[in-house]
Chain A
Amino acid sequence: MIEQRAVTTPLDTQQPLLSVRDLRVAFPSEAGRVEAVRGVSFDLHRGKTLGIVGESGSGKSVTSMAVMGLLPDYAAITGEITLGGRNLLDLDDRQMSKVRGRQIGMIFQDPLSSLTPIFTIGDQIAEALQIHQDISAAAAAKRAVELLDLVGIPNPDRRAKGFPHEFSGGMRQRAVIAMSIANDPDLIIADEPTTALDVTVQAQILDVLKTAQRETGAAVIMITHDLGVVAGSADDVMVMYAGKPVEHAGVDELFARPRMPYTIGLMGAIPRLDDRARDALTPVPGTPPLLVDLPDACPFAARCPVVQDACRETEPPLLAVTGSDGDGHSAACRRAAEIEDGAIGGEPIYPVPALRENRVAAVPREDRPKVLELSGVTKTFPLTKGGLLKRKVGTVFAVNGIDLDIREGETLGLVGESGCGKTTTLLEIMGLKPPEQGSIAVCGQDTADLKRKQDISSVRRNMQMVFQDPMGALDPRMTVFDILAEPLRAVGERNSKVLAGKVAELMELVGLDPEHRDRFPAAFSGGQRQRIGIARALATRPQLLVLDEPVSALDVSVQAGVINLLNELKAELGLSYLFVAHDLSVVSHISDRVAVMYLGRIVEVGTTDAVFDNPRHPYTKALLSAIPLPDPVAERTRERVLLKGDLPNPTDDRPGCRFVTRCPLHLTLSEPQKERCRGVTPQLTEREERDHQDACHFADTPVSVDH
């Protein structure tokens, strides 16, 4: 990135490639005119990357849509978008189609829906070429293969003839990138390009995007909610809130000296892998305003902890911050000049909420009872072929002999990429049935012994689940009262007075107003819905909560509040958590112990500090290094272990290490050592540290990092 800046900024540095001036977009709606974007201005030079950061509803996607000319006809767009000297807003749709694809390349969030399922990848790229360039079909096909090679798809000749469903998510996104750079665009717009992907794949894709930018010399607009992604890839960052940029600065300047309370709040709200001190996160209170009939006031005033009366009188414009070293740092805050290092006059803007001490933690781990114990649990699915008479052609080993235990009052984080068997493990546990192999014991009760209905329901009381999607987990046709009363009714509580009392108690416990119990889930925001989900899980006073990605669907500022709530509840009620997530930063913040899963097996398990500070399995190392840090300096200097390829199919159960196909360590070993990796299944073994096990034959061999 750094050397490339010097190369690609030669001639026209004065003339920006893209210049947006006072862009405003409004949509009509039932509630009134929604002003989705309210005055966005920025310049973008060739070869540079602008990161646009904001929460959902902040107008970042609408801004990019306006640049691409993809907004619906009923959207009222004013302002000026100049790309290479032409105002894009003056062009009609036909002229705009020529610009799109030719001058602007687009990469959307979902790689599945941006490719047509019925054409081969090669044909789709060739089509993109032939629309904008006058070249023969053979030449276009050849160029398509070259492009696929450029974005790192192995065997591009053969893969070009493949259909989208034959590609994995990461591979599809590579193909989309290949398509977007097919016509050598001047500008690439990437709208959350890695949100739908796993971390190791995300690292690959960000790398490919940099390659693509280097090859084309294009400017990139990177839209994301992930500050880590921005820190690693952007030159300039624009933070948007309520349809307006509230802070705009160079990436180093912004992360080092944020001036707007909202930016500071966002940064305080993300759990960070490189800073795992056990402080509570600082959530930003409240929710963003409705973008209808906004008063002339700072839109963040209602959530700002350092608000003054003058903030509510007029909306502060985006002004250059005085006192900054001339790096073009601007912020839309009246008090921007006062803010220094996230504090005003030495007083932090967001006070860190006090954490309650965990009473249970005082007892040593070995003396606490086990609330959940899995030993050798296996779950397989038959692989069938044929429509009418299904015959079995293979077996998928979704979970392949895993051992876990959770003691009272502790949190076990179960991490791994999608498809590694995390969710299957959860469903096996929650099903309360004896597994195919091995055993599951909840609070000392083996599930194989649960025969009578009463036994099962008494175990159910002790173990409840919180789901990932806060909307999907709540029945949209039930009021909050009925949702919370359901588990109580299921265990036989009928008295309506008792129910009402308990429901009110639960709602207060998770920080909801009991007055809102007659509302439907649709009336709540994402964070509030997740609180309802947690309250429901707590209704039967369980000892163990199973949490399936409980915060991954939430905005950053809301996520922090939910994580804090979970930590508080754990301390207050002495709960144990089985916390499943793909986001290692979140896991590192909430867990006492971590188990890393790969293809149905646990490859490393231990205390959070041991696993994160001293990872031993090469997969854990790769996972940790793939996580983007919200710190541009650290991002540039850290060493990366980039994994090749994707998860293989877990269909065979031959002995040997499952990670062998992607293992960077494996490549450096001698032939007899390689033989051992392929022939002998590594078992979880404890090495020098206590309570830290890994399943790698050669964990002590240092990994050579290919950077």
Chain B
Amino acid sequence: MPGVGPDAEQTHPDESVAREAGKTGSGGKRLSPSKLYMRRFARNKPALGGLILFVLLVLFSLFGPYLTHWDYMEADFTALSVPPGVDGHLLGTNGAGNDVYAQLVHGLGRSLIIAVTVSLLTTAIAGLFGTTAAYFGGKIERAMLGFVHFLLILPSFLIIALVGTRFRGEWQVLVLVLTLFGWMLTARVIWSLATSLREREYVLAARFMGVSAMRTIVRHLVPNIGSLLIVTFTLGVASTVQAETALSFIGFGVKQPDVSLGSMLADGQNTLSTAPWLFYLPAALVVLLTVAMALIGDGLRDALDPTSQSGGRA
């Protein structure tokens, strides 16, 4: 439908400028972009809800241990597999007598750290790598892409498993290997998006103004694929929790006595019918965590979107 949509829209921006002429920038004080993004984010109620949920989860993992006298490693042999509320165990115990509440608090913290660090690192590496390759083009681009393709054909799961066996249960090692083998696919996608960006006139303009390569990449290329990066990050958190669960399940992830939501899920599903709280409680936390991340990601994407409805305002 040529002409219909754009025609109707085009008159809009001019008017909004005219209408709000005196309203913004009052007193000549500059509103920094970050403040503006925060204001826009706060206007989005579900996103704010997601953020609150996420903060609550973080607080819970930080201060939860002080609400119980049980330690997550300590086994109460007098109460094996008791349901919630029995014998002073708020959320029951597992087959070995560990307090589920204490384990949940600790496991949530462990999973949060693993998921958020891995996701942040992979997104950052993928974003920088993909845009850098696209910006330079030519030989540099071909070499960088070749490296990505090489990593992609490596049997990464096998390597993770091998490294996992070597350093049993150390979560830092887990973070490292998950990051090392998790960024390539995203980098490839970001590169293909950024190749269209590098042809844009504002990137050309920056080059002609003598802006340095690194600065152009960070200021122009990365922000303009920002919405993709944010979605990648939030989905990355969810998928890392799952990856870590999978690894823990086959025995290469977080090891006893350390616990994570993943290892708890793996343990819990064996006794799904006899002791359902062992599965459903960590599952609920995983769901809450991923929902919170999705809401935050959605809100961030809208807040950073220059063409969003709240466009020139605020």
Contacts and interface: CB of A to CB of B under 8 A. Distances in A.
Interface of A: 27, 29-31, 34, 36, 56-57, 59, 61-62, 64-65, 70-72, 75, 108-110, 191, 287-291, 430, 456-457, 460-461, 464-465, 467-469, 472-479, 481-482, 486-487, 489-491, 500, 513-525, 528, 536, 540
B311 A520 contact: yes
B46 interface: no
Chain B contact residues: helix, strand, loop or mixed: helix
Interface stretch (B23-31, B237-245, B285-293): B23-31
B200 interface: yes
Nearest to B7: A57
B1 A65 contact: yes
B2 A61 contact: yes
A108 B36 CA distance: 41
Contacts of B210: 456-457, 460-461, 487, 490-491
Size class of B's contact patch? 35 or more
Interface stretch (B63-71, B114-122, B183-191, B220-228): B220-228
A286 to B, nearest CB: 8
Contact of B30 (A291, A477, A518): A518
Q: Would you list the 6 A-B pairs with minimal beta carbon distance, nearest first?
A: A523-B312, A61-B3, A290-B15, A287-B14, A473-B201, A525-B14
Contact of B2 (A108, A478, A522): A108
A482 B7 CA distance: 29
Best-surrounded residue of A64, A474, A490 (most CB of chain B within 10 A):
A490
Nearest to A58: B7
Nearest to B220: A475
Given A27-B8, A31-B12, A36-B7, A473 B2 contact: no
17 contacts: A27-B8, A65-B3, A70-B1, A191-B3, A289-B11, A291-B8, A468-B201, A469-B201, A475-B220, A476-B224, A487-B210, A515-B22, A515-B24, A516-B17, A517-B30, A522-B307, A525-B13
B270 to A, nearest CB: 50
Contacts of B31: 518
Contacts of B201: 467-469, 472-473
B25 A516 contact: yes
B155 interface: no
Given A481-B30, A482-B33, A522 B25 contact: no
B211 interface: yes
A528 B13 CA distance: 11
B39 to A, nearest CB: 12
A500 B10 CA distance: 30
A472 B205 CA distance: 10
Contact of A477 (B2, B8, B212, B223): B223
B78 interface: no
A518 B12 contact: no
B59 to A, nearest CB: 32
Contact of B306 (A70, A290, A464, A522): A522
B209 interface: yes
B174 interface: no
A473 B207 CA distance: 12
Contacts of A56: 6-7, 10
Contact of A473 (B3, B12, B202): B202
A430 B208 contact: yes
B313 to A, nearest CB: 8
Contacts of A536: 205, 209
Given A62-B7, A478-B223, 8 more contacts: A34-B8, A61-B3, A289-B15, A290-B14, A460-B209, A473-B202, A476-B306, A528-B14
A469, A516, A517, A522 — most chain B CB neighbours (10 Å): A522
B314 to A, nearest CB: 9
B306 A490 contact: no
B304 interface: yes
A479 B307 contact: no
Contact of B12 (A290, A469, A520): A290
Interface of B: 1-4, 6-8, 10-18, 21-22, 24-25, 28, 30-31, 33, 36, 200-202, 204-206, 208-212, 215, 219-220, 223-224, 226, 304, 306-307, 309, 311-312
Contacts of B3: 61-62, 64-65, 191
A291 B11 contact: yes
Contacts of B200: 472
A59 B11 CA distance: 11
Contacts of A523: 13, 16-17, 311-312
Contacts of B14: 287-288, 290, 524-525, 528
A31 B205 CA distance: 34
B23 to A, nearest CB: 10
A517 B11 contact: no
A475 B1 contact: no
Residue among A30, A70, A515 facing the most chain B CB atoms (10 A cut-off) = A515
Nearest to A453: B210
A288 B8 CA distance: 12
Nearest to B205: A473
A486 B24 contact: no
Give the residue among A57, A291, A469, A489 with the most B Cβ atoms within 10 A.
Answer: A57
A36 B220 CA distance: 36
A110 B8 CA distance: 19
Contact of A465 (B25, B205, B215, B306): B205
A26 to B, nearest CB: 10
Task: Pick from B1, B4, B16, B17 the residue with the most CB of A within 10 Å.
Answer: B4
A191 B7 contact: no
A464 B208 CA distance: 7
Contacts of A291: 8, 11
B219 A460 contact: no
A475 B8 contact: no
Contact of A521 (B33, B208, B306): B306
B25 A61 contact: no
Nearest to A30: B309
A703 B8 CA distance: 48
Contacts of A491: 210
A294 to B, nearest CB: 11
B2 A519 contact: no
Contacts of B12: 31, 290
Nearest to B221: A475
B250 to A, nearest CB: 40
A27 B122 CA distance: 44
Contacts of A487: 209-211
Contacts of A71: 1, 4
A479 to B, nearest CB: 6
A477 B36 CA distance: 12
